[in-house]
């Protein structure tokens, strides 16, 4: 059976260089099995179902982000129970992949440049999912130009690489993994690096050296990332005043909190809350 090849030009209006849309898939018949002459990046906002890709049937659900290569033959099927799948899809020229690999990922064997049978896939936490959807919605209000495409893709790759940087390498000590998992409360945040070292059961200098060895960053940088991850969640799911969130994260100086948050999330806490609490 011949597999249809979808062409990017079919989805573009005059002057556009990429396609971006929120898509609802209710049944297997909503999208035919296909390959394409473009690259495709998507993430699942809500719902569950299956990704039928390269002869495999993979379960998908909220938080799944997938990078589809042009040669991947695939389609989607919504679960028989529930309201289907809602996803955000970005389709863009293969030339953009060449540009990104040359400039940002020259030695990469993952993401779109993986040679594995299955395309790259990652499960993202809720706060990152909200960031991606908010950034995509902002892009939807602008022209579909190359500068908007590059800006959006860079934002997505940055969130993924930040998330991966906090994921535990295979050889990370068990005590450090446990400390990262347990460093989640205001009492610990207010104690700063000392609170984290206490969870490790080791002195701060040794913990700092171990963090640098495995993550390539200081203990202060790691704890700040964990604090901001907590702050991002609080901003989305609560109405707690930002000053109180700042204090709970161990930042009595609100300006310092704003600066640290913005360095990781590219927007102020106030704007992050406004965008994410009104997104759905």
CATH number of 90's domain: 2.60.120.280
139/189 same-domain check: no
Q: Among candidates 142, 144, 166, which has minimal Cα distance to 8?
A: 144
Residue range 224-273, pLDDT digits in tens: 999 998 998 888 878 899 999 999 999 999 999 999 999 988 889 998 88
Spacing of C-alpha 125 from chain mean position: 8
Residue range 63-95, pLDDT digits in tens: 899 999 999 999 988 876 667 889 999 999 999
- Sheet strand arrangement including 85-93: 19-25, 85-93, 38-47, 64-68, 120-123
Range of the domain at 257: 174-277
Strands 74-78 and 5-6: unpaired
180/157 same-domain check: no
Residue range 35-70, pLDDT digits in tens: 999 999 999 998 888 899 998 988 888 889 999 999
- Helix, strand or coil, per DSSP, at residue 77: strand
- The whole model's pTM is what? 0.64
Longest dimension (CA), the chain: 65
225/268 same-domain check: yes
Domain boundary among 115, 135, 165: 165
């Amino acid at each position: 059976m011949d597999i249809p090849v979808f062409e990017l030009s079919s989805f573009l209006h005059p002057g556009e260089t990429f396609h971006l849309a929120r898509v609802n898939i209710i049944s297997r018949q909503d999208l035919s099995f296909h390959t394409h002459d473009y690259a495709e990046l998507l993430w699942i906002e809500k719902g569950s179902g299956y990704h039928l890709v390269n002869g495999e049937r993979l379960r998908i659900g909220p938080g799944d982000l997938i990078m589809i290569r042009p040669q991947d033959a695939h389609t989607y099927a919504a679960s028989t129970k529930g309201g289907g799948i809602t996803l955000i899809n970005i389709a863009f020229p293969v030339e953009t992949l060449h540009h990104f690999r040359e400039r940002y990922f020259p030695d990469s064997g993952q993401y779109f440049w993986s040679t594995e049978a299955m395309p790259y896939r990652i499960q993202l936490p809720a706060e990152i999912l909200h960031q991606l959807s908010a950034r995509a919605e902002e892009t939807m209000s602008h022209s579909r130009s190359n500068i908007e495409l590059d800006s959006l893709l860079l934002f997505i790759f940055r969130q993924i690489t930040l998330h991966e940087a906090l994921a535990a390498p295979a050889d990370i000590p068990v005590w450090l993994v446990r400390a990262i998992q347990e460093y989640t409360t205001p009492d610990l945040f207010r104690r700063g690096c000392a609170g984290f070292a206490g969870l490790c059961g080791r002195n701060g200098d040794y913990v700092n050296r171990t963090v640098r060895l495995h993550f390539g960053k200081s203990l202060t940088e790691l704890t700040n990332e964990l604090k901001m991850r907590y702050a991002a969640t609080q901003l989305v799911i609560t109405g707690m005043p930002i000053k109180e969130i700042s204090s709970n994260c161990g930042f009595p100086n609100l300006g310092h909190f704003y600066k640290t948050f913005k360095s990781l999330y590219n927007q102020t806490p106030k704007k992050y809350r406004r965008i994410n609490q009104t997104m759905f």
